[in-house]
Amino acid sequence: MKMKKFLMIISAAVMSLCLTACAGEGNSSGGKVEFSQGTEVSQSSTTTETDSRVSQTSSTTSTENVSSTENSETSSATTGSTSENSEVSAPSSSTTKTESETSSVTSSTSSTTSGTSVSEPTEDDVKILVAYFSATNNTEGVAQKLADGLGADLYEITPQQPYTSADLDYGNSKSRSSVEMNDPSVRPAISGSVENMGQYDVVLIGYPIWWGEAPRIMSTFIESYDFSGKTLAAFCTSASSGFGNSDSALRSVASGATWLKGQRFSAGASAADVMKWANGLGVN
C-alpha cells in the first residue's frame, strides 16, 4: 500500500515535471518567436544600418567621384590654362622670331642693295672720257662741247715736243708733220698720261685731219692703253676733208674695243651739232 502510494507520488511528480516541461517548451516557443522577431528587428536594423553604410559609402564614393571629377576638371582647366598660357606666350616667341627674320631680311635687303649699286652700275654710272689732240685749237673746241654735253672727263693729248707753225707747214715735204705722216711707224712721244684709264667705259677720241689720216701721235695714244671691252668713237676737224677712213689705223691697234661710227666737224661746229652726233651713239 505504501509502495502504491509512493508510485503515485512519483507519477504525480513526473506528470508535474512533464507539465512544467511542456509549459517551458510553450514559453520557450513564445520566446523563440519573440527572439525571432527580435532577430528580424535586429536584422532589419542591421539592414538599415548596412543600407545606411552603403548609402554613406555610395555618397562617399559619389563625393569622391565628384571630387575626382572636379579635380580632373580642375586639372584639365589647369592644363587648358597652361596650354592657353603656352599659346599666349607662343606669339611672343613667334613675334621675336618674326622681328629677327624681318631684321635679317632688312639687313639682307640692305646688303643686297648695297652690293647691287657696286656690282651692277646703272647708265648714270657710265664713265666717259673725251681725249683729243689739237695743234691749232680747232679740235679742242669740239672736244670741250662734247665733254660739257656728256658730263665727261676731258684729257688733252699733249706732245712731248710741241708742234710749231713750221712743223705744220703741209706744203713743205721736209716739215715735221710731213715727215711723220710719210712714215706709218713714227710714234711721237706724249707728255703725261691718263690717270686710271681702266675706270672709263667710253672713250671719244678727237684729232685734226692730216693728209686724210689721224696724226701719228694718235697711234701713240691708242697703243699706250688697253681698250679691250671699251667703247670707242673718233671725231675729227678739218677745213675741207671728210672723215673718210681716218680712224682705220686706230681701229687696227685697238681691235679689242667696240668701235662706233665717227664724225667730222668743222672748226666752228655748234654744241647742238656736236651733241646730235654724241646722242646718236647711245653712250650717255
Residue 115 belongs to some domain of the structure: no
Low-confidence ranges of the chain (pLDDT < 50): 22-123
| pLDDT at residue 3, as a whole number | 63
Q: For residues 254 and 127, is the Cβ–Cβ distance under 8 A?
A: no
Residue 97 belongs to some domain of the structure: no
Do 268 and 144 belong to one domain? Answer: yes
Do 162 and 273 belong to one domain? Answer: yes
Do 128 and 233 belong to one domain? Answer: yes
Residue 12 belongs to some domain of the structure: yes
Residue 241 belongs to some domain of the structure: yes
Identity of residue 84: E
Name the nearest CA neighbour of 126 among 204, 193, 195. Answer: 204
Do 59 and 159 belong to one domain? Answer: no
Query: DSSP 3-state assignment of 216?
Result: helix
> What does the alpha-carbon distance between residue 279 and residue 267 come to, in Å, rounded to a whole number?
20
Q: For residues 242 and 216, is the Cβ–Cβ distance under 8 A?
A: no
Do 194 and 240 belong to one domain? Answer: yes
> What does the alpha-carbon distance between residue 207 and residue 134 come to, in Å, rounded to a whole number?
6
Residue 95 belongs to some domain of the structure: no
Residue 195 belongs to some domain of the structure: yes
| pLDDT at residue 11, as a whole number | 66
Write out pLDDT tens, residues 167-199. Answer: 999 899 999 999 999 999 999 999 999 999 999
Residue 100 belongs to some domain of the structure: no
Number of domains in the chain: 2
Domain residue limits at 173: 124-281
Do 131 and 65 belong to one domain? Answer: no
Assessment of whether the complete model's pTM goes beyond 0.95: no
Identity of residue 273: D
CATH code of the domain in which 223 resides: 3.40.50.360
Do 148 and 71 belong to one domain? Answer: no
- Grid coordinates given for 185: 711707224
| pLDDT at residue 228, as a whole number | 94
| pLDDT at residue 237, as a whole number | 95
Residue 261 belongs to some domain of the structure: yes
CA 151 to chain centre: 36
Write out pLDDT tens, residues 215-228. Answer: 999 999 999 999 99
Do 135 and 219 belong to one domain? Answer: yes
Do 25 and 135 belong to one domain? Answer: no
